[in-house]
A and B are shown apart, each in its own frame.
Chain A
Amino acid sequence: MKPLKLSKRLCTLLAVALIAGLFASCASPGAAPSPASPAQPPAPAAPDQNQTPDRLDTLTVAITYDENTITPVTYVRGTPGLDVMRFIYDSLFTISPDNVAVPWMVEDDYAVGADMQTFAVTLRDGLYWHDGTPVTADDVAFTFDYFKNVFTAYTRWTNIARQVESIDVNGRELVFNLENPNPGFIRVVLADMPIVSKAQYEGVEDPTELPSLGSGAYRLAEYRVGEFYTLEAMDDYFRGTPSVKIIRMPIMDVSAAQQAMLAGQLAGYTGGVSVELIDIFSGSPDIELVSSDGYASTLLLMSNVRPPFDDADFRRAISLALDLDQLVDIITLGNATKGTAGYVRDGLDEHVTGLDYTYDQNAANTLLDSLGYANKDADGMRLGLDGSPMELEILTSGTRARDAELISMQLESVGLRIRVTTLDPDALDMRVWPDFDTSQPHDYQMAMFGWSAPVVQRNGAIIGVCSSDYAGVGGLNLSHYDSKEFDAAAEAFLASVDPAERAMLNEQMQRTAAGDFPFVTLYFADNINAVNTQQYSGWVFPKGGLAVNVFSFLP
């Protein structure tokens, strides 16, 4: 018994010491500075709670991912990373809440060459880095050169910087010279690239160690890995004093953020509201739900190189059998816009009317019969051309499994036996888009897929998903659709700088693709944002974007 007594005391002491030690080792809020804290400006004092009607001292909004130190070289993802980066870093142009590229760091009177290969801008006066030094045209030129030639790790900005051949600098004036005409240059390049400080980055061996230093409306005052960000307003910001002094951003996933919103612990978060929660959020008097156009697409991909989908008529039969209204009603509870066979979403400049899908199961049945799939088994399911049982497969990840199930039911009603295979998102990618290299052969018949809003919103977006130049401009053509007519129109579109001709070619491309059904564009789900209007009333809801955006905090 004696050894037991000793062990008991010893264990008790050890347990107490261990717990006390753990408390001591758990970082306290006032612990060492985060690696992201800029050295120059002092850390903000603890915000007091005296709110004034016109300017708020503090606001807490959640960020749904840890986005690292929020610098261009440590960039992780577009949403929410880039949205938050816009608080800290400026770009020459920006995408306005109306979803238009507008001058931001540059004067309004910019000039675009008739050949769409030169873009002349003048940097505004009064732009300052967060350490107080002025932003110069050299910083801008350095930024593009840096991501094109110096920072060799592949990032979002690599592709963007490569679109610029050279930059001429004269005082505050900059002329961007392009190798090829690019009417979308302002939106895709100038409104995307965050400008970095030459003095901070030049000659630095490991830029990922550098603190966040931008010229935006807020500076990153503190970042604790996996826990939170604190943004502090730059009172002398050239677009006006931000309306909230301190923005606190705890890092949490969407479901936790939604709970915290309902409990009143957050004013907003960098994510949407899932449609199932709309009623719950609507019941809260402090929360306002705002729905705006969503541009992210949901597609049913079909492999255009694998039978029976290599036959355009078979793909047409699939599209005829799909009831998109039912999909929108059941999956999104009506919070989406139906897709069209022209791919480009209704509401975008390049949208062509009259290319809506037709839902007609009788026509689908007739077409399938005429294609040789008239024979059926005892269950009423169609047999293959050789009379053997035919089972088609839809690949999906968990998030789109319900879409796939509903589609399988719709296709089974025209006698097509469907097997839905749910995969891990990466496993799905590996079969549909191996190594993100479209020129590689894929391994699927049908797959649930989607493109993010920025991809859908690009000028000539249909070229990416339909051109047969898989290693080039058709790099998103996961169906391996191959149409000489489409390719010719795409080539002419890319070479043209005449708006009227481009519009004509755009329509020609869409009509060609719409006749061949390379895939089915099912719907574009709406963006539903939830914000607490009692805590803050200045929310701005951008088209296709988040309520937690820098415009919500600018005058």
Chain B
Amino acid sequence: MTGALRRLPHYLILIAAMVALNFFLPRMMPGSPATRLASDSGYAVTAEEREQILGFYNLDKPMGEQFAMFLEDLVTLDWGRSFSKKQPIFDLIKAALPWTLLLAVCNIAIASVIGTFLGALSAFMRKRGRDKPLVIGMMALSAMPAFWIGMMLLSVFGVRLGWFPLFGAYSMWGDYTGMAYVADVLRHLAMPLATSVLASLAAFFTTARYGVLNTMEHDYIRMARMRGVPDARVKTFYIMRNGFIPVFVVLMTQMGFILSGSLVIEKIFTYPGLGLLLADAVVARDYPLMQYAFLMTSIMVAITMFLADVLHYKLDPALGSDGGSEKHGGHR
């Protein structure tokens, strides 16, 4: 724990850098929000009108002053209004965040279990060469972009077979409560979740496979077998338990990829999460919404990385409380 806490300043610096990048990067994109805000009138905008628009949104102030205002608003949770949706940003993010987290957490849970299981299975079958179809299948899966998987699932299971709803996170006009509501949410979650699980399975598979194969080579495994420890016990308690530690690290780092990947998936399935919100904000050059949506995603990733650090020290005693594995001579 101490080792992980020692890294806390690193994460604070990381978050500070994220805050700055989230402010400056959108402003470096081509295009002005003023043009977006005025474009639909079908009239040319005079310089005076452009200044009026910029002034209304404080975009006419020097960049430093805008940044100071941004920091003040960030701390006071006064996040202002979205340019494009003209709604309080805090409300927009508050409404979207739970859906994204639901999708991400379920994805992590399912993809890690299935991917790790298949990875371990593949490792145990390697010598017999029976893992080739599994490895080839996983490689093929990892080569498929998430949007393509999503479109295929949508087309087959949504449009042709009609098994799952094509849009939304729940039946918007359904009067479900309790377990019926949960079932309804799950039904809507099925295809976005399947897409994200299929898209992120390969990372867990390859990590688990490598971890197990690596652990199988250690002397203490041979020693256990020589001592006559039953094969199932060796696999479960000696190999998998230690071989899965890298999987845990991947599990936490995958959170970032999953959150960013949810942008595409949420767009395909019109799933009302942070990704969909972010995609709309980018298209509309909605600076404030982009800033805060990116920031929320970035902070969530930083938090999961920090948690990964903390829990990694707990899970792998070899790391000790104050240092890396070098001091303790690496793996047991």
Contacts and interface: CB of A to CB of B under 8 A. Distances in A.
Contacts of A77: 40
A28 B37 CA distance: 33
Contact of B47 (A159, A424, A437): A437
Interface residues of A, number: 75
Nearest to B280: A66
A426 B30 contact: yes
Contacts of A23: 102, 182, 185
A436 B44 contact: yes
Interface string A19-47: 10011011111100001000000000011
Interface stretch (B198-206, B208-216, B267-275, B295-303): B267-275
A436 B315 contact: no
B109 A156 contact: no
Contact of B166 (A58, A155, A260, A470): A260
A459 interface: no
A433 B43 CA distance: 12
- Please tell me the size bucket of the interface on B: 35 or more
B106 interface: yes
Given A250-B172, A426-B30, A437 B50 contact: yes
B170 A154 contact: no
DSSP class of B's interface residues: helix, strand, loop or mixed?
A: helix
Given A225-B91, A251-B270, A26 B86 contact: no
B85 interface: yes
Contacts of B44: 436-438, 464, 470-471, 475-476
Nearest to A60: B173
Nearest to A249: B172
Nearest to A438: B44
B235 interface: no
B270 A250 contact: yes
B84 A76 contact: yes
Contacts of B172: 29, 224, 227-228, 248, 250
A19 B99 CA distance: 11
Interface centre among A29, A77, A471 (most CB of B within 10 A): A29
Interface stretch (B4-12, B70-78, B126-134, B154-162): B154-162
Contacts, number: 199
Nearest to A15: B109
Contacts of A250: 167-168, 172, 270
Contacts of B36: 426
B105 A15 contact: yes
B87 A29 contact: no
A173 to B, nearest CB: 30
A19 B43 contact: no
B52 A154 contact: yes
B3 to A, nearest CB: 14
B318 to A, nearest CB: 12
Interface string A226-259: 1110100000000000000000101111001001
A422 interface: no
A427 interface: yes
Given A256-B166, A259-B158, A3 B56 contact: no
B32 interface: yes
**A-B pairs with the 7 shortest C-beta distances?**
A426-B31, A475-B44, A427-B30, A252-B270, A25-B98, A436-B45, A22-B102
Interface of B: 29-32, 34-47, 49-50, 52-53, 56, 81, 84-87, 91-92, 95-96, 98-99, 101-102, 105-106, 109, 154-155, 158-159, 162, 165-177, 181-182, 185, 237, 241, 267-270, 272, 276-277, 280, 285, 311, 314-315, 317
15 contacts: A1-B237, A18-B105, A23-B185, A26-B102, A29-B170, A62-B167, A152-B52, A226-B95, A248-B172, A259-B159, A260-B167, A263-B159, A435-B45, A436-B44, A437-B50
